[in-house]
Structure 1
């Protein structure tokens, strides 16, 4: 009604005068800051949770059709298991009472936001503990998803879930406490903004140990040592999964700013979004061009991993590079993946989806690249962090894998592996109309 009565120019002049009357240094209230910061973590959390769907679709596309249903089950189940275990022990172990040490408190997380606000009155600070838990718990599942793809098609379901409990309840939170929980690595100055090492390399080291101890799929390597390709079932699903992961990564990196209550925070978040996107573009383009040069054709599976490699690489330091430098950091990740995947094969390590190359190799690269754009970090300190976390996760994961192998067993029988984990572990198929094994089971 007012806009109809007042001329447009007069409205604009009034709005301009109102803006000029506000002091340039005006800040939002403590309560408003509390709300904005909480909102950032909640929004980032559900974007990262959506990455679980991305991993499920990516892995479903890259495994053979006889294993698609079981890989989908593993991905949705590991998310649920990781959330429960992190609630029971992981969160407090990672964040409470670390104080420059090596781990926190063994206790269950229980939010007390309402009571804390009642005690503080109008003294608002930070964000709700509930939003912090939600944002952190979805990260945990990402590390476990890395392992899932690497050991796919030959691991038993329930031993894998037991390892997920160990990884998400003990291994991940302990090494995470060293940096994000203000432990000993944080005091040394080690920097990992959103988890190139703490999330991706952690999952990568655990996956590497699992792949070595589990052994390769039947027929992956011939008697002469030649690598035999085992193409995935559905590159459409794999592409969809990559797109979902790409979108989820904006929450993964952007919300790791942990605050959205000031103009400087808004600027930082915007830079992180732009750099995250450009790194993925750099990784994809580099992988596409390099596969054309090396193999004579553009390899879609490698190109998808190139995009993910760029995303992993920028995760350790997405706030400080310029967009062009972020693109170059991602491009190096894309190049590394193209060479790393066949190198891992030459070592006779069977990584079903290439996760070791994407998450471990490019996680290390991204962490070591931080000092190029962040003068507050040093290569020596970054190297100490990479080596310490690598050694800890590798040792503890190897102990867990060997213990499971010696007790409950971790590998499907040769017959079950040939039949496929869908029928062997679930008694159903993802694609029953194909009729591959439907008649082999009787109920």
Structure 2
């Protein structure tokens, strides 16, 4: 007994040490998970770049790459200096943060958690910005676009984000106070980016040749394989986007990952089936956008619905995106369907949280969700439209007709994405085809006779 007594006395201390070790392991796991998830979300920038490049013409490919690079590069700097503080600083009446600019003066968090949380939120902000890129592709002045990209990351996105997510870090927003639910950003990220994109398309106008006698004309992109690769990369990164929003490495990520996968697959099936039934052939581009529609749709409620609900949300999103794209095409020129995918399906996914929640339908929650959807539009669209108008009046939002015909790669950057191709000038293109930017196949000399 005397030999056991010291061990018995030490038992509480040993138990406390084990608890401390377990807590340390969990803390470290949380940090690692958030960094890995953030890296997956950052990879989505590559997905957006490839998707937009593939769905537009070869003569504008380098320009699209530049816009996506700047969305991330300039975006992280201005989000660090301004956006993070507006979004997650101590809230002023639930409307906007008032401290935390350049990560200074943020209270209540360890410095290490501040850094990792900033990193994760910065890649989200870049995602919101790059949604605009595809919608205004092939005709927007690069300098003007860069200014808008900086403003959406520094101000437009963070202000709405503070309303819905401010309490994730400090303070709390007025939408949060109402009980608005948007777990990973169907509205906060995707609809905000899309309503800004809608404003841009209206101000900059359609590409030359998009509308003939008031009817939309298809302007095909130059590479379906690039677009498809972009979608697969986005799909892969979305597991970090949704499951990473737990900001904790725990069991909760399991159902989120499953729901994300199911909704994406159902979205593709819905879009494919509808186009097959409607047109007699399954549309490749609509099916690809169906994947994205399902992903956007499940993002708000990926933590709150059962897998069967995720299937329903994704399937309906895939159907909705087809009808939304066809309707919007009558009025705007959106080369990649960004407004339909991210705006309409983002709104749908946000409302669907109340419709398919695991604990049952809630009419009051549906009303709160609708308030959030409406607030996102009423904030983002007017501010973005005014900014695009101001850029149009001061810098010129749209490039010249000659620049559009030659391609933004040459006009804006003095380069071409595919130097092996000899890009035809406007005078080289046969009558009626000038809007399509047709590439002339390189001439190959015949091999000498042996």
TM-score (norm 1): 0.87
For the pair 1:324 / 2:308, whether they are aligned, the reply is yes
Aligned residues of 1:112 and 1:129 also touching (Cα < 8 A)? no
**Cα shift readout 1:378-437 (whole Å, capped 9, x = no counterpart):** 011111111111100011101111110110110011111111111111111111211115
1:12 maps to what in 2?
Answer: none
Instruction: Work out whether 1:356 is the aligned partner of 2:346.
Output: no
- CA contact 2:191–2:342 (8 Å) conserved in 1: yes
Structure 1 residue 30 displacement after superposition: 3.4
SS of the equivalent of 2:159 reads: helix
Alignment match, 1:232: 221
- Quick one: distance in 1 between partners of 2:345 and 2:162? 22
The Cα shift of 1:26 comes to 7.2
**Separation in 2 of the partners of 1:100 and 1:351?**
37
Aligned to 1:406: 393
Alpha-carbon spacing, 1:158–1:184, altered in 2? closer, same or farther (3 Å): same
**Matched residues in 2 for 1:226 and 1:418: separation?**
21
C-alpha displacement of 1:329 = 0.5
Deviates more, 1:412-421 or 1:428-437: 428-437
Aligned to 1:388: 375
Matches within 5 A, 1:34-53: 34-53=27-46
Q: How does 1:7-406 map to 2 (within 5 A)?
A: 29-98=22-91, 100-105=93-98, 108-110=101-103, 128-181=113-166, 182-223=172-213, 225-260=214-249, 266-346=250-330, 348-372=331-355, 373=357, 375=359, 378-406=365-393
Deviation at 1:108, TM superposition (A): 2.6
Unaligned runs of 5+ in 1: 1-21, 119-126, 261-265
Equivalents in 1 of 2:262, 2:37: separation in Å?
19
Contact 1:206 1:393 in 2 (8 A): yes
| TM-score where L is the length of structure 2 | 0.85
Q: CA RMSD in A?
A: 2.3
Could you tell me how far 1:200 is from its partner in structure 2? 0.1
**Which residue does the alignment assign to 1:420?**
407
Shift of 1:110: 3.0
Instruction: Check conservation: 2:49, 2:64, Cα contact below 8 A.
Output: yes
How many positions carry a matched residue from both structures? 402
Q: Partners in 2 of 1:406 and 1:299 — Cα distance? A: 39
What does the per-residue CA deviation read over 1:75-96, in whole Å, with 9 as the maximum and x for residues that have no partner? 1111101101100100011001
Deviation at 1:36, TM superposition (A): 1.7
Asked if the contact 2:84/2:103 (under 8 Å) is kept, the reply is no
The 1:101/1:112 distance shift into structure 2, 3 A limit, reads closer
Which has the larger displacement, 406-415 or 320-329? 320-329
Structure 2: gaps (5+ residues): 1-14, 167-171, 428-450
Secondary structure of the corresponding residue to residue 201 of structure 1: helix
Task: Specify the alignment match of 1:7 in structure 2.
Answer: none
